Structure 1
Amino acid sequence: MLLSTRLRSRRLLSLLAMVALLAGAAAFRLPPDDEVVRRIVEGVQRYYGAALPEKAYLHLDKAWYTAGETIWLKAYVVDARLHRPDTLSKVLHVDLLNANNQVVARRNLLLAGGLAPGDIALPDTLTPGNYTLRAYTGWMRNAGPDFFFSRRLAVWPAAPVDAPDSNPVAVRARAAAAFRAAAAVAAPPDVQFFPEGGNLIAGLENTVAFKATNHDAHGLDMQGQVFDAENRAVASFRSSHLGMGTFTFTPVAGQRYHAVVAPAAAPTTVPLPAVQATGYILHVVTLPNDFLVAIQKQGGSGGPVLLVGQVRGTVAYVARSQMSGAEAFTMHIPKSKFPGGIVHFTLFDGQGTPLAERLAFAQNQSALRVTLTPDQASYHSRQPVRVRVAVADAKGQPIAANLSLAITDSEGAGSSAENIASHLLLTSDLAGYVETPSYYFQNPTPETAQHLDALLLTQGWRRFVWKAVLAGQAPVRDYGVERSLGILGQVTQPNGKPVPNSKLTFLQSSPIKQVLSTVANSEGHFLFTGFGGCDTTRVTLQARAKDARAVVLRLDAGPPVATRPLPPLPLQAPVALKEALSRSQQQRAAERQFRLDTTKFILLDGVNVRGAKAQPVDSRHLHSPNDAAVINMADLPKSNLTVLDYLRGRIAGVSVSGDVRNPSVVIRGGSTINGNASPLYLLDGLPVDFQDIVAFQASEVESIEVLKGPGAAVYGSRAANGVIAVYTRRGSPAYKPSSESAPGVIVLNLPGYHCGREFYVPRYDAPQTNRDFPDTRRATLYWNPTVRTDASGKAEVTFFTSDAKGTFQLSAEGLSGEGQAALGNGSLQVK
């Protein structure tokens, strides 16, 4: 735990007194030209110069969603050292994972100068729960998933929260949540102890940090005592923030210590790390303007020691001293020496071997201030709004910046758990889940500084290990820089052993036709790259070994996901969120009837199906099988024909005319609407354009169903001309994940870049704007991912209010060209 204020003050005064006594006798000094120093500094620079680490951040329009809404986002990819918008990678992958860590949506974003807008449309039928949104480049995979952007998102039911029985999806989700919550409560807390500097050193006063989390990785308030092997109490502790804190005690050589922790279902006993008879303590106290660093030694022959302070590979402090006996060395190090962010203090011996390490935080880089000023104090419905945007630094100097701006319902909005400043300066350099990181930046006080210090003591982690850096080892480079989309994989034998130098043939059938070939490397790995555009690429890959033996194509499955499932949503929505959820759900209901945007999807009313339990359940069908004429592809011979080829002459009333360049389909009995007699096309239950169906290979299809008349009514007015529904083999819940159609042959659809939708902004000053139906925008009134301030730090955006009334929150985030994070909030009143 963090000590009480009185005890902390007493310890600080004691330490300051020790500094005064020792300042004249022993102090660190800047080293002269030193071979060890040169080797350490050059090793860090060489490592970062070769690794070229990247960071990714996603600014979202809001912190929570309901099923059926759209996640609007802006991607920022920067170099990890200076946080300047990155130009190394050109592709950013964005995954949405459900509570079981399965990918339910994936977007490939084309980066321009490290920036890209995007969106993810959540289906109405999406299971409510907690989801993870993560973003990464191919190059970031070398550092591992710990350094991906990752954020938890709550997705609430589309049906009203007060009437869950009206939505069977919500009923199932709530039942599952109740079961998982009951099981989780019984799980013991996860409690860990971390000696400051790395080890417990006998005979010296040690600071020990601890962290206690529950089943969903949230901090758990706790208290307890530390006992030696004879069960004599030697220390007590109590958490002060999110289950974290510190305590001190002096361990004895040869003793074993354990802690007894409460509260829990039963007292939990946790062993402390083993005590080292000799070693060094590296103690750091964070003061308002500097770091007070104290070094103590126990045992050994002594000798020269070296203290190095670096931030993201920039070595900003180096000092050397000579230690012998039990003397202590202390020093004040100004925070101004360091770039803003996590400081790694590392103590080395005279040969450059690391002895102890301690993380601290230099909170000396304020985010740029974004001022958002509406041109009026309040507005009426469907009235124009002009918002002036100004960006300035801490001294008030104007700054050019690239921003994204969200205006959302302030009811239940609260403050985001993370923002671009907290991510770039803190969480992107820590492994694991960090709870509410923006807390440490919103109100910088001595108390929050202590809480942040406890976080770094318990969750500190570095991007490299000193052994590799000092040995001159190159960083791992299993993945290259992605400048376009590609296909990565490996050719193996059926037993998994790689097949070296096998020949691969690449055949692309859409959107263009081409044939390529390459040879796998000595480990059987291969890469086809150079794909672009928004279209899905239809690809057939074939691999052949030189000795004609059987081979298997294994495509890259993407980065690993967490094995621990996410916690369920609470059974009842938080009070602060309940009204906002109700409003959002009402908006979704209205949008089922009136669509203001330009998307081609139709949102359909929910259908409750009661009947015998069947496994597996195919959620792609909304209609009854008895209402459709069905072509079962399993009953027909395999060929290279398209879906339209199989429709010709097989179903009464369906007319297919024209050639492959200009085909036409008409279902007799349909009613022409606005001159359009085309039926509604569905692919695996989703509305698609005719061009998405016309050339679809029948070999990949499980069945084709045709509906007309009353049977098509479930799909709404767009189905007045009938429905042609195509169901793929891969979309079936019974489909096995093996995608090989023959040994060494694989067929796949490679998704292109996500060319996202533009947020719909009606203009009520334009004569062609339809005013006959309600404008329901409330949850997100306005989203603009491309706000750029000029050299004077200014920009302006305009939009119209909707029919919704109340208070709206304005939130802007972004970056300057020099890598400074920018933040700002405001409010908007609609009467």
Structure 2
Amino acid sequence: MKPACFLKPILSVLLLLPALLMKAQVIDSVLLKLESQYPQEKIHLQFDKGAYNPGETIWLKAYLMSGHLLSGISKNVYTELVNGNGQVLQKKVSPVLMSGAAAAFDLPADLKDSVVFVRAYTRWMLNFDTAFLYVKAIPILSATPAQPATAKQVSSPQYFLELFPEGGDLVQDVPSRIAFKATDKRGWPVAFSGDLLTGKGAKIESFSSTHNGMGFFNLTPKAGETYKITWKDPSGKQQQVMVPAARPNGIVLELNHTSGGIQFNIKRKDGVPSPLPVVQVIAQTQQQLIYRAKVNLTKSALVTAVIPTEGVPAGIVQVTIFSEDNKPLAERIIFLNNQDYYFITDLNVPLKGLDKRDRNVIQVDVPDTIPCNLSMSITDADINPAQPGENDIYSQILLASDIKGYVHNPGYYFSSEADTVAQHLDLVMMTNGWRRFRWEDAIAGKFPVIKHLPEDYLTMEGSVTGLTKSELVNQEITGIINLKNGSQQFLTIPVQQDGKFYVPGMIFYDTAKLYYQFSNDKNKLLTTKALIDVKNNLLVKGPAFSVSPKWTPSFNPLDPLAQKKNQLMVEKNRALLDEQRKVQTLAGVTVVAKQKSKAEKMDEQYASGFFKGQEGYTFITEDDPFANGSMSILNYLQGKVPGLQITGAGTQMSLSWRGGTPVLYVNEMQGDVNMIQNTPMTDVAMIKVFRPPFFGAPGGGSGGAIAVYTKKGAALNDNVKGLDFASIPGYVPEKQFYSPDYMKYETEHKQTDNRTTLYWNPFIITDKNTRRILYTVYNNDISKRLRIVIEGVNADGKLTRIEKIIE
């Protein structure tokens, strides 16, 4: 991975001597190795709601980032639904497309927990500290309030006060800032006020917290003196905490925001020779070096300079002071907010309807031409109210995912550009550590042990046993993959000398069957002799989950009217489910359904996953007299799709659509022009052409996609008769969100509509040709205020979030 373009020329306060230059290069090489070989991923989840009832569905969208950019490392996201005892109830694996992945969890109707958890991670993330995995605590509204079973009660102490000398250490006779944080047993903030005393009890000053139990005070520790804090916790108990002892010599690091950058002050004891004549200042963000300087401490007890930050992306910056022999002496993190992390998404409602089953038109506009990947939820605003300071895509990606400790209401720190909010965020920086790696370990060459390689989509992994090494030389397996929807794909799979074989980068749902035999094995002698084991590459079991008290959900209780409304809707939905179960047990019931078109029937029969439905063009060859008369598939498509350019002849044909090249598929397995052109038209049942972008394609399919489906039936099934086969699990089919169209007559419209989530769309894709999208959403039978939330990313790694209330 190349260094990002934002890196500025590195400033040196003094000229680097050759010996120091060599040592400084050690730090450079460490960061380069961390950035290129150990890049970090982080995840944000957008949920349709902040709280749920038993029996409801949790809809979620995952966004995967690496540093300041979309992640290209992992192709799968693992999400888990965990109960209050830490037991994994459900697990989903979702393919990542344009840094996004969707999943859904159905909560058990008999769920008793008052809190459930959703954990999300990639396989690559498991190589590093699991404290950075995404975890979200979700309240269950209609459950009996109770603490999670593993959130054990702690008898004493109930409240804590932590002290954090800026930079790490206090030094005798050197002025220092000491940050503090007062919390309860869950790690949640509590208001604080206390006194700073000498060891003998003489009062120096009184001070109190300024935000969420945090604040700081100044102290110049004296030689031979000790200090303590006395305070009365919220229960009325008098408590005492000792201030960390000061070192007789050393340095103190102080950071402040200033115009054009970050000002650092390096202080030492005045009036005595400096024990550290020269130190190095290193600043890095997301494992990328942004500043290095050599500082001479012999002439002054205070050295001040500014780290220029123009062009440096918003996020946490780590500033570390090193000795000449690369030993870290002091460290502090600071948040840099250059207001460059977001892009604007416009949300308008040209048609508003809040009566029963009324029609709403939602208009989404992205002014930029850069491809964007968004998700949108529309919910009952009374039952799903906004929570002050709730975590969102800004606070999760830029702050919470990079902080190992707990951050309370992180969304608050991105709610305003006011100086007070920035000052409060700096308190978070002073009271937390950013420790994705330890300098001491990295400089000593102790890097993470990589147990999990970057994961592709589904990889078919196989092994051949029972054959000799000579029989495996230049051996290939001829295979036919049968998907659940009846689609087939022919494969030629090379076998390695050790008997292993792989087919990477597959996306299919449910279970596929691989029919196989060795190539040129006419009598099946080798195939019969060999034992072939085939499986997929997905992680079977994630790391152990231990419930932490700090994950108690930060969710303000609903007001009595909203709670009553929620309970009413829950009871109606339960009654509706009970009625449906009764109807399902009746015999001789005649169901009248609308007649489906041939294209709809074919789509149900052949298509799956991202290929199912979707807007585009569908061609059924059976109904088209020109199909059998066409020389090839691409010849047949010429001139049939507006904007799709097909030129050339035979296997030399080229395709272009909106400046991109359509991705080609045969039976939902990615292919090329040769494969498409060599598929006879007489074998083709259906062709689907998807407008750009097609999100089922790698990279978001900026040129759209063409999916060819070959005919099912005896003719094709003859190809697999007599062959051995192996079953390969695929992705779990995605659950589709149901949004009724009350302009059409449907039998189910007679039922009461008590949906609390009226609309959920995890994939809204825009590009330079599609910058405005309109959605029609119908109200339910009871909601009077609707809450719309949109979050997302663009191809440049910028973030967006917008929220609106319709009332």
TM-score strictly above 0.5: yes
Q: Which residue of 2 aligns with 1:754?
A: 732
Separation in structure 2 between the aligned mates of residue 245 and residue 370 of structure 1, nearest angstrom? 36
Pairing 1:231–2:213 present: no
Structure 1 residue 785: Cα displacement: 0.8
Separation in structure 2 between the aligned mates of residue 130 and residue 29 of structure 1, nearest angstrom? 57
Pairing 1:240–2:173 present: no
Residues 170 and 247 of structure 2 are in contact (CA less than 8 Å); yes or no, is this contact kept in structure 1? yes
Residues 302 and 325 of structure 1 are in contact (CA less than 8 Å); yes or no, is this contact kept in structure 2? no
Distance 1:142 1:240, change over 3 A: same
Deviates further, 324-333 or 815-824: 324-333
Q: Which residue of 2 aligns with 1:24?
A: none
Structure 1 residue 54: Cα displacement: 1.1
Distance 1:771 1:97, change over 3 A: closer
Separation in structure 1 between the aligned mates of residue 775 and residue 155 of structure 2, nearest angstrom? 48
Residues 483 and 508 of structure 2 are in contact (CA less than 8 Å); yes or no, is this contact kept in structure 1? no
Secondary structure, aligned partner of 2:325: coil
Q: Which residue of 1 aligns with 2:691?
A: none
Q: Which residue of 1 aligns with 2:177?
A: 207
Structure 1 residue 519: Cα displacement: 14
Q: Which residue of 1 aligns with 2:29?
A: 42
Pairing 1:65–2:52 present: yes
Structure 1 residue 36: Cα displacement: 3.2
Distance 1:133 1:486, change over 3 A: farther
Separation in structure 1 between the aligned mates of residue 125 and residue 73 of structure 2, nearest angstrom? 11
Deviates further, 788-797 or 807-816: 788-797
Separation in structure 2 between the aligned mates of residue 763 and residue 194 of structure 1, nearest angstrom? 58
Q: Which residue of 2 aligns with 1:81?
A: 67
2:386 pairs with one of 414, 420, 424: 414
Separation in structure 2 between the aligned mates of residue 213 and residue 64 of structure 1, nearest angstrom? 25
What whole-Å deviation, never above 9, does each CA across 1:510-562 have from its counterpart, x for those lacking one?
999xxxx9999xxxxxx999997544799xxxxxxxxxxxxxxxx97521323
Q: Which residue of 2 aligns with 1:368?
A: 343
Secondary structure, aligned partner of 1:36: helix
Secondary structure, aligned partner of 2:749: coil
Pairing 1:773–2:784 present: no
Deviates further, 527-536 or 104-113: 527-536
Q: Which amino acid in structure 2 is aligned with residue 453 of structure 1?
A: D
Separation in structure 1 between the aligned mates of residue 557 and residue 240 of structure 2, nearest angstrom? 36
Structure 1 residue 381: Cα displacement: 3.1
Residues 386 and 796 of structure 1 are in contact (CA less than 8 Å); yes or no, is this contact kept in structure 2? yes
Pairing 1:671–2:587 present: yes
Separation in structure 2 between the aligned mates of residue 593 and residue 221 of structure 1, nearest angstrom? 46
What whole-Å deviation, never above 9, does each CA across 1:138-176 have from its counterpart, x for those lacking one?
11011122211122211111xxxxxxxxxxxx4xx44x5
Structure 1 residues 819-830: aligned runs within 5 Å? 819-829=797-807
Q: Which residue of 1 aligns with 2:440?
A: 467
Query: Gapped runs of 5+ residues in structure 1?
Result: 1-26, 158-169, 489-509, 521-526, 539-554, 596-600, 606-666, 677-748
Separation in structure 2 between the aligned mates of residue 321 and residue 586 of structure 1, nearest angstrom? 68
Q: Which amino acid in structure 2 is aligned with residue 413 of structure 1?
A: P
Distance 1:575 1:472, change over 3 A: closer
Separation in structure 1 between the aligned mates of residue 415 and residue 377 of structure 2, nearest angstrom? 19
Residues 135 and 148 of structure 1 are in contact (CA less than 8 Å); yes or no, is this contact kept in structure 2? yes
Distance 1:590 1:674, change over 3 A: same
Separation in structure 1 between the aligned mates of residue 186 and residue 777 of structure 2, nearest angstrom? 40
2:186 pairs with one of 213, 216, 231: 216
Structure 1 residues 377-776: aligned runs within 5 Å? 377-392=352-367, 397=368, 399-411=370-382, 413-415=385-387, 417-484=390-457, 533-535=508-510, 557-562=541-546, 564-565=548-549, 574=556, 576-594=558-576, 671-674=587-590, 753-768=731-746, 770-776=748-754
Structure 1 residues 336-375: aligned runs within 5 Å? 336-366=310-340, 367-375=342-350
Structure 1 residues 141-220: aligned runs within 5 Å? 141-157=126-142, 170=143, 173-174=144-145, 176-177=146-147, 183=153, 187-220=157-190
Residues 84 and 113 of structure 2 are in contact (CA less than 8 Å); yes or no, is this contact kept in structure 1? no
Separation in structure 1 between the aligned mates of residue 450 and residue 149 of structure 2, nearest angstrom? 43
Separation in structure 2 between the aligned mates of residue 459 and residue 566 of structure 1, nearest angstrom? 15
Give the length in aligned residue pairs: 600
1:280 pairs with one of 244, 251, 267: 251
Q: Which residue of 2 aligns with 1:331?
A: 305
Q: Which residue of 1 aligns with 2:227?
A: 257
Structure 1 residue 576: Cα displacement: 4.3
Separation in structure 2 between the aligned mates of residue 221 and residue 212 of structure 1, nearest angstrom? 7
Secondary structure, aligned partner of 1:481: coil
Residues 130 and 566 of structure 1 are in contact (CA less than 8 Å); yes or no, is this contact kept in structure 2? no
Structure 1 residue 330: Cα displacement: 0.9
Q: RMSD of the alignment, in Å?
A: 3.9
What whole-Å deviation, never above 9, does each CA across 1:428-473 have from its counterpart, x for those lacking one?
1110321111100111211111111111111122211112333344
Q: Which amino acid in structure 2 is aligned with residue 333 of structure 1?
A: I
Q: Which amino acid in structure 2 is aligned with residue 36 of structure 1?
A: K
Deviates further, 58-67 or 470-479: 470-479
Secondary structure, aligned partner of 1:467: helix
Query: Gapped runs of 5+ residues in structure 2?
Result: 1-11, 462-481, 485-494, 514-538, 593-726
Residues 234 and 249 of structure 1 are in contact (CA less than 8 Å); yes or no, is this contact kept in structure 2? no
Secondary structure, aligned partner of 2:366: strand
Distance 1:751 1:421, change over 3 A: farther
Structure 1 residue 808: Cα displacement: 0.7
**What TM-score results when the alignment is normalised by the length of structure 2?**
0.67
Separation in structure 2 between the aligned mates of residue 251 and residue 443 of structure 1, nearest angstrom? 36
Residues 194 and 458 of structure 1 are in contact (CA less than 8 Å); yes or no, is this contact kept in structure 2? yes
Separation in structure 2 between the aligned mates of residue 603 and residue 565 of structure 1, nearest angstrom? 40
Residues 208 and 246 of structure 1 are in contact (CA less than 8 Å); yes or no, is this contact kept in structure 2? yes
Pairing 1:314–2:292 present: no
Distance 1:227 1:519, change over 3 A: farther
Secondary structure, aligned partner of 2:140: strand
Residues 82 and 88 of structure 2 are in contact (CA less than 8 Å); yes or no, is this contact kept in structure 1? yes
Residues 84 and 547 of structure 2 are in contact (CA less than 8 Å); yes or no, is this contact kept in structure 1? no
Structure 1 residue 221: Cα displacement: 0.9
Secondary structure, aligned partner of 1:200: coil
Residues 151 and 549 of structure 2 are in contact (CA less than 8 Å); yes or no, is this contact kept in structure 1? no
Separation in structure 2 between the aligned mates of residue 179 and residue 93 of structure 1, nearest angstrom? 25
Residues 235 and 248 of structure 1 are in contact (CA less than 8 Å); yes or no, is this contact kept in structure 2? no
Separation in structure 1 between the aligned mates of residue 205 and residue 274 of structure 2, nearest angstrom? 27
Residues 160 and 184 of structure 2 are in contact (CA less than 8 Å); yes or no, is this contact kept in structure 1? yes
What whole-Å deviation, never above 9, does each CA across 1:631-657 have from its counterpart, x for those lacking one?
xxxxxxxxxxxxxxxxxxxxxxxxxxx
Pairing 1:93–2:78 present: yes
Structure 1 residue 581: Cα displacement: 3.4
Identity %: 28
Pairing 1:814–2:792 present: yes
Distance 1:770 1:672, change over 3 A: closer
Structure 1 residue 133: Cα displacement: 1.6
Pairing 1:802–2:780 present: yes
Q: Which amino acid in structure 2 is aligned with residue 285 of structure 1?
A: N
Residues 352 and 361 of structure 2 are in contact (CA less than 8 Å); yes or no, is this contact kept in structure 1? no
Residues 66 and 581 of structure 1 are in contact (CA less than 8 Å); yes or no, is this contact kept in structure 2? no
Q: Which residue of 1 aligns with 2:118?
A: 133
Structure 1 residue 339: Cα displacement: 1.6
